[in-house]
Amino acid sequence: MSRSLTDKQKHTLCQQRRSANFQASSRLDEIDTPLITLSETAIQERIIALRSHYER
């Protein structure tokens, strides 16, 4: 018996699909970019670091 996805799971799945579609589209345009996956905490740390750098 399968359960429906939560909103957070739907959002994560949508992000993964969007990333995969972007990667495929980029390969068609002969632009090779590595796939980067970050955890939620790593994302927050990166945002804080970028804000502190650019909000001087």
Please state the domain count of the chain.
Answer: 1
- At residue 1 the predicted structure's pLDDT band, cuts being 50, 70 and 90, is low
Domain residues for 22? 7-54
Residue 1 within a domain:
no
Beta-carbon contacts of 36 under 8 Å, excluding residues fewer than 6 positions away, are none
Residue 49 within a domain:
yes
Residue 41 within a domain:
yes
Q: What is the per-residue pLDDT across 20-56, written as a single tens digit (0 to 9) for each?
A: 898 889 888 888 777 788 899 999 999 999 999 998 7
DSSP letters, 16-33, are HHHHHHHHHHHHHTT---
Q: Quick one: pLDDT at residue 31?
A: 82
Q: Inform me whether the pLDDT recorded for 5 exceeds 90.
A: no
Residue 30 within a domain:
yes
